[in-house]
Amino acid sequence: MASTIRFGAILLGVFLVVFIALGIDPLRRDDWLLENVLVFIAVPVLVFTARRFPFSRISYAGFFVFLCIHEIGAHYSYSNVPYGEWLGIEIGDRNHYDRLVHFLYGLLIAYPMREVFLRIADARGFWGYFLPLDLVLSTSMIYELIEWAAASVFGGDLGQAYLGSQGDVWDAHKDMALAGVGAVIAMSLAALVNMCCQRDFAREFRDSLRVKHPEPVE
């Protein structure tokens, strides 16, 4: 466990360097602050719960990559990330960087969510793969509601910058769908690995769908 916590601490140190560097002179300071509200909450929670509930190295790596990618979006304001210049490609009428981050949310954060369900809720079999997908989709929906509320409260350029819909009326739906696709890929890979390595995979999966208490709950 000590080596896992040490690994997480190293990633935290690197992330803080990235955070400070990208926090210097962002495109819009007000939008940068809004984009980082959840980061200001999530990172301290991960730090203060590390000894009681240390995540695996895979999960810490997922958190690290996702947060770094997010900080790039916060620095430039998502709709203005110049990835076209970096890759030498034509972006077109819409900047799709936010789409990438929503997809990576599902791909990288579904596994830590699976850890929570396995280690706290004792989810097994089917539920160990379905519940992380369900939580990714529900939290994606909650985030879209937060974006909508913030855009309504702040309005103007700041509201539009934070919302990042870029005129697409289906923006929220596409963002949630991409997060779901990322989570499906992550859980499918986890299931495939466990299917190959876990001897009782089929039995555990089957038992998880068996009715344990036939009496209706009153």
Query: Does residue 63 lie in a domain region?
Result: yes
Residue 56 is encoded by which pair of tokens?
């695996």
Tally of structural domains, the chain: 1
Query: Does residue 213 lie in a domain region?
Result: no
Residue 8 is encoded by which pair of tokens?
């997480």
Report the distance separating Cα 107 and Cα 186, nearest Å.
5
Query: Does residue 73 lie in a domain region?
Result: yes
Average pLDDT on 63-83 reads 94
pLDDT at 161: 66
The predicted-structure confidence for 85-121, as pLDDT tens digits, reads as follows 898 888 878 888 999 999 999 999 999 999 999 999 9
Average pLDDT on 146-157 reads 79
- Residue predicted with more confidence, 12 or 91: 12
Task: Please give the residue range of the domain that contains residue 181.
Answer: 2-208
The predicted-structure confidence for 24-37, as pLDDT tens digits, reads as follows 999 999 889 989 99
Instruction: Say what the pTM is.
Output: 0.92
Query: Does residue 172 lie in a domain region?
Result: yes
In eight-state DSSP terms, residue 53 is: S
Average pLDDT on 180-191 reads 97
pLDDT at 165: 65
pLDDT at 79: 87
pLDDT at 151: 79
Describe the chain by its helix, strand, coil percentages, rounded to 5.
75, 0, 25
Query: Does residue 216 lie in a domain region?
Result: no
What are the angstrom distances between the C-alpha of 155 and each of 150, 160, 161?
Answer: 8, 7, 10
Query: Does residue 126 lie in a domain region?
Result: yes
Percent of the chain at pLDDT exceeding 70 = 95
162 Cβ neighbours under 8 A, 6+ residues apart: 31, 34, 35, 147, 150, 151, 154
Query: Does residue 88 lie in a domain region?
Result: yes
Query: Does residue 218 lie in a domain region?
Result: no
pLDDT at 164: 65
